[in-house]
Amino acid sequence: MSVEIKVPQLGESISVATIAKWLKQPGEHVEMDEAVVELETDKVSVEVAAPQAGALGNHLVSEGDEVEVGAILTTIEAGGSKPVAAPTAPKSVEPPKVLEVEAQITETHQPMPAARKMMEEKQIAASQIGHGTGKDGRITRDDVVNFVAGGGSKPAVANVAAVSTRRDDPREERVKMTRLRRTIARRLKDAQETAAMLTTFNEVNMSAVMKLRSQYKDAFNKKHEGARLGFMSFFVKATISALQEYPAINAQIDGEDVIYRNFVNMGIAVGGPNGLVVPVLRDADQMSFADIESNIIGFAQKAKNNQLKLDDLSGGTFSITNGGIYGSLMSTPIINMPQSGILGMHAIKDRPIAENGQVVIRPMMYLALSYDHRIVDGKEAVSFLVHIKDRIEHPERLLLDV
């Protein structure tokens, strides 16, 4: 019995993915729930598994192609054998408007399925867009979106075309950016262009937290299986306390309105094989130290194994990133839009400071808060960091909620 393998639901507001890599070839035997193809979306990579054991059919789409939710990727035949010939993908009967669009498409500028659909809706010809950014010059959905956003007055890939005329040095290697990396680049640029972004700094003495952690980490780890007492839970707790005191930093702008939240969904930036991702601790304000630590460990493991789901990455209201694990002493983190702020942690370094009229050596960390100045005032931002500094330097205040 033949079963179709389709593009699954990809999560909130995501309808298109790119075929990143075929993991199984036509005729190859696959087990039930074994991954056969890897899709790449704007946020994360997704593996599509076989719904039953059997022989894989022909690939109906190629690596680099864009596909929409519900599109057929291949089939799987229970007990089947390797196909003798590779049949072409079945063509459905299309309305005249589709045929008119296809008539305008040259062999070298063929749009991908998602791009073709949008071109039909917008009544745009392939010749208007020109050379696409997809594989072999194919027009992608992003090309159409950019063309429409630019008023349709010029090809959306003018800059790409200009870059392609560059004469590469024989010692150089040109590699196309992945969809995820292109999306990261676009979102970071959008954040800079949309938000009135500003960064303020402070420093925190880590002595008290380090002493408390050293004293109780063994008992904590023993009692809470799957959790290890680290510094991040202290900063999450301190940040939640500060967000409750200064709610504008946990809010977002929506048109001419400000949306204030009575909850905290904390994004925690972690490094994965395809770049930085920000999984979300939902209702972090209701979590214990152990809950926070175990969830962060789980996210880090998922990111390492490329197993994060789209739901893991959506709905954040504020984010924390820790460049200190890579040795960063100070940085200006970029806001994860549409959030209004992000806290940057950094490396802990022994430094001389003045304490009670004497110069002493203490383990110090620089903190950075990047915030959207459209909604957050400078006084709020500075007070926010001071609040976090105070709770880290006096962790008993976190336990007593004072």
Quick: pLDDT tens for 40-84. Answer: 876 677 889 999 999 999 999 998 888 888 899 999 998 655 444
Q: Which residue has the tokens 């519900």?
A: 70
Per-residue pLDDT tens digits for 112-128: 666 777 777 777 877 67
Which range of 101-105, 155-159, 250-254, 398-402 scores highest in mean pLDDT? It is 250-254
Omega before residue 113 within 30° of 0, cis: no
Please tell me which residue, 205 or 174, carries the higher pLDDT value: 205
pLDDT of residue 165: 66
pLDDT confidence of 164, banded at 50, 70, 90? low
Least confident of 22-26, 205-209, 273-277, 308-312: 273-277
What domains appear along the chain, each with residue ranges and CATH number?
2-77 (2.40.50.100), 96-176 (no CATH), 184-400 (3.30.559.10)
Please tell me which residue, 1 or 283, carries the higher pLDDT value: 283
Per-residue pLDDT tens digits for 165-192: 678 888 988 888 777 677 778 778 888 8
Please tell me which residue, 142 or 105, carries the higher pLDDT value: 142
Is it the case that residue 196 has pLDDT exceeding 80? yes
The residues near 119 (Cβ < 8 Å, ≥ 6 apart) are 101, 111, 125, 126, 129, 139, 144
pLDDT of residue 95: 46
What DSSP string describes 60-90?
Answer: SS-TT-EEETT-EEEEEETT----SS-PPPP
Pairwise CA distance, residues 255 & 387, whole Å: 30
Please tell me which residue, 369 or 314, carries the higher pLDDT value: 369
Which range of 148-152, 163-167, 308-312, 377-381 scores highest in mean pLDDT? It is 377-381
Please tell me which residue, 134 or 48, carries the higher pLDDT value: 48
Q: How far is CA 221 from the centre of its chain?
A: 30
Q: Which two tokens stand for residue 164?
A: 């392609």
Q: What is the mean pLDDT of residues 131-143?
A: 71
pLDDT of residue 72: 93
Q: Please indicate, yes or no, whether the overall pTM of this predicted structure exceeds 0.75.
A: no
pLDDT of residue 343: 98
Give me the count of residues in the chain.
402
Vertex 320, ends 365 and 231: CA angle to 5°? Answer: 50
Q: Which two tokens stand for residue 234?
A: 């202290």
pLDDT confidence of 152, banded at 50, 70, 90? low
Question: Is 357 exposed, middle or buried, given 0-12, 13-18 or 19+ CB atoms closer than 10 A?
Answer: exposed
Half-sphere CA count of 273, side-chain side, radius 13 A: 9
Q: How far is CA 360 from the centre of its chain?
A: 42
Of the residues 33, 377, 390, 401, only one is catalytic, namely 377
Residue 134, helix vs strand vs coil = coil
User: Max CA-CA distance within the chain?
Assistant: 85
High-pLDDT (> 70) share of the chain, %: 83
Instruction: Look up 373 and say whether it is catalytic.
Output: yes
Of the residues 190, 218, 311, 373, only one is catalytic, namely 373
Look at residues 271, 285, 205 and name the one whose alpha carbon lies nearest to residue 241: 285
Per-residue pLDDT tens digits for 336-347: 889 999 999 999
The residues near 319 (Cβ < 8 Å, ≥ 6 apart) are 266, 267, 268, 269, 278, 335, 336, 339, 341, 342, 343
Per-residue pLDDT tens digits for 76-119: 998 655 444 445 544 444 444 444 444 444 444 568 666 777 77
Instruction: Look up 109 and say whether it is catalytic.
Output: no
